[in-house]
Amino acid sequence: MLPKLRSVAPYAALFAAAVYLYRDAGAFAAAGRPGQLGPDVWPRAVLVLLMVVCGLAIVRRALFVAADNASPAASESDADSNATAQRYHGCLAGGIALTIAYVLALDWLGFFVSTVLYLALFMLVGRYRRARVIAAASVIGSLAFVFVFMKIVYVSLPLGRGPFKALSVWILAMLGVH
C-alpha cells in the first residue's frame, strides 16, 4: 500500500496545485473584453490538461500499477529498485542547506568570502577529504571567478558589508580590478 501511495503522491500534489491555480485564475478572468478570450483562457486550458493527466496517472497507478509494470511509465518505486547506487540523503540535505546559506550569505559576506566557504564546504559535504586540494581549489577557484567576471566579463559581483566589503575591495585591488 505504501509504495502505491508514494508513487501516487507527486501526481496528487500536482493535481491539488492545479486546482488551486485554476481557482486563482478566476481573479484575472474579469479583465477580459466582451467577445474576446480573456487572459485566463490559456492558463486555464493548460491547467485542465494538467489536471486530466494527473488524474489519469493517479487512477492508473492506484488501480493498474501491478499489471502495468512493463510500461514505459515505471513507478517511482521501480525507479528506486533500479537504482544501483546507494543514496546519501545526508549529503543531499547538506548540499541544499549549504546552497541556501550561500545565497543568503552573498549579500553580507560578499562574493569572494562566501564562495571560498561554499566551495570548501560543498566538497566536504560531497565526501571529499583531501584538505590541501579543497583549500587550494576553493581559494584559487574563487579568485579566478572574481578576476574573470569582474575584470573580463564586467559583472558587478556582490562586495558584502562592513569588514567583508573592505576585504573584497582589497582583493579586487590586488587583482587589478578597479
Please list every residue from 21 through 80 that binds another protein, using CB under 8 A.
Answer: 21, 24-25, 28, 31-33, 35-43, 46-47, 49-50, 53-54, 56-57, 60, 70-74, 76, 79
- Residue from 8, 125, 171, 172 touching another protein (CB under 8 A): that is 125
Task: Give the residue with the Cβ less far from another protein, 2 or 152.
Answer: 152
109 neighbors 155 (Cβ within 8 angstroms): no
Q: Give the CA angle between residues 76, 88, 68 to the nearest 5°.
A: 10
Residue 2 in the binding site for another protein (CB under 8 A): no
Closest approach of Cβ 94 to another protein, in Å? Answer: 8
Closest approach of Cβ 105 to another protein, in Å? Answer: 11
The Cα 147–Cα 115 span in angstroms is 13
Task: Give the residue with the Cβ less far from another protein, 44 or 169.
Answer: 44
Task: Give the residue with the Cβ less far from another protein, 97 or 166.
Answer: 97
- Closest Cα to residue 102, out of 91, 83, 118? 118
- Enumerate residues 6+ apart whose C-beta is below 8 A from 150: 156, 157, 172, 175, 177
Q: How many residues bind another protein (CB under 8 A)?
A: 74
Q: How many CB atoms neighbour CB 14 within 10 A? A: 16
User: How many CA atoms lie within 13 Å of 171's alpha carbon, on the beta-carbon side?
Assistant: 24
Task: Give the residue with the Cβ less far from another protein, 136 or 166.
Answer: 136
Alpha helices in the chain (DSSP H): 2-29, 41-64, 76-82, 89-125, 131-146, 162-174
Residues within window 94-123 making contact with another protein, judged by CB under 8 A = 95-96, 99-100, 102-103, 106-107, 115, 118-119, 122-123
User: Greatest CA span in the chain, whole angstroms?
Assistant: 70
Closest approach of Cβ 172 to another protein, in Å? Answer: 16
Residues within window 137-176 making contact with another protein, judged by CB under 8 A = 137-138, 141, 145, 149, 152-158
